[in-house]
Amino acid sequence: VFLITMAEVQKEENELVKPPMLTSVALRETTNQMEGGEWTHPLPIGCRASIKWRDGKHHMAEIIEKRQDEGAWSYYVHYVEFNRRLDEWTAGTNVDMTDVQKPNKKGPATDLTSSTDSTPGRKLTRNLKRRYDEINHVQKEEDEAKSALEKEHEEITKVKNIDVIELGRYEIDTWYFSPYPEEFSNTPKLYLCEFCLKYMKKRKTLCRHKTKCDLRHPPGNEIYRKDSLSVFEVDGKKNKIYCQNLCLLAKLFLDHKTLYYDVEPFLFYIMCDCDSHGCHMVGYFSKEKDSPDDYNLACILTLPPYQRKGYGKLLIAFSYELSKKEGKVGSPEKPLSDLGLLSFRSYWTRVLLEILRQHQGNLSIKDISTMTAIKTEDIIATLQSLNLIKYWKGQHIISVTPKVIEDHLKTSSRQPTLIDPEFLHWVPYQMDTKVKK
């Protein structure tokens, strides 16, 4: 069974920029006892309590939902110091009833402050706010509509509807809600065919399906094969059901993915580890067939059992090899997930450091972009994070010595396995421009 531990998640999240947590002083402003007595079940939604996790340690969590089964209460909780991927149902017996904090009915403060004001925290007057909105072309109606949609999405997806999936030889704990049809939701375990991704509620149904399913690899064209590594290109229009199933599977591990059924405008690149039993999916990325913003990647996922093995960087490297074939520079669609951002930063850092180490003589950012197919904005941001670039007389200047490069390479991730262009057999997608007569 593949499980993710609190320690692993904490290590990942220490590398991310996180919003400030509530201070211990603020938390103590709420009482951990009901007026006139101890807390008893059921606890109210919105309160916080110390919850015993699988590692035997207690962690502060917020109660999102509750249910009663045969007289026993259980709670769906969000651990306040960790990503939503660890949200789960837990038995009431895991709650420390001596450490419960009342829900904050007032809610978070909503004072509007100007991020551009020279006085920190200064409130905007009505006139100042209107002028600020006019200057910055703030579309109030669009913002309100977007905010309403985000709240609706958060409400719908706040509780995971599937706990575990069985995919090939792995049982995988899910991270997030995914909009599978209602009859397949709210089930502790979902069974998936690892080749066609059809989903079933019972193991015996999966066993029957295996005798009939003749797929041993993703549909579509195999465009890359070297040793046991293979990549298939799948057209969302030609293989609609497969791609929809893929998106539903991906949503179990991606918090903000919203595309599930409108797959026709996309191409999907499925990376597989192949053996005598077939080609087993390790991850995938998608890209628009026609991206006006030159995005070379729309969505990326490495399945949890294959994470921390270099497949994420391989998927990223593959997306840039396709961009080179197209003769374009590319960039991933924003915003990236937290793990996606970490993978891209790591990939960009390693590629740029290797370029700077190997190149002799003058080298411009545009030259690097042409060599790597990485967009100039991503190059500049990465070099700035490494303090290897300066802004002088209206232009960015790369300022680096061989020793500085070697020092950075020592602290960066190990040299990733690269995609070999000789084994890539692919022609860029051509949009149908024929006009009906």
| Catalytic residue IDs | 333
- Among residues 308, 304, 312, the alpha carbon closest in space to that of 341 is found at 312
β-strand partners of 66: 75
Neighbours of 164 (CB within 10 A): 16
Walk across the sheet containing 187-192 and list its strands: 170-173, 162-167, 187-192, 199-200
User: Which letter, b or e, does each residue of 42-55 get, where b requires 16 or more Cβ atoms within 10 Å of its Cβ?
Assistant: ebeeebbbbbebee
Question: Other CB atoms closer than 10 Å to residue 34's CB: what's the count?
Answer: 13
Tokens 């998106």, residue located: 247
Instruction: Assign 3-class secondary structure to 208-245.
Output: HHHHHCCCCCCCCEEEEEECCEEEEEEECCCCHHHHHH
Alpha-carbon gap, residue 261 to 96, rounded angstroms: 42
First to last CA, the chain: 58
**CA–CA separation, 244 vs 196, rounded Å?**
11
CB neighbour list of residue 139: distance below 8 Å, 6 or more residues apart: none
* DSSP-assigned beta bridge partners for residue 74: 67, 91
Return all residues near 215 (Cβ < 8 A) that are at least 6 apart.
Answer: 193, 195, 196
Sequence-distant (≥ 6) Cβ neighbours of residue 59 within 8 angstroms: 6, 50, 51, 53, 79, 80, 81, 82
Q: Tell how strand 221-226 and strand 199-200 pair up.
A: unpaired
Q: And the tokens for 27?
A: 């938390």
Amino acid at 51: I
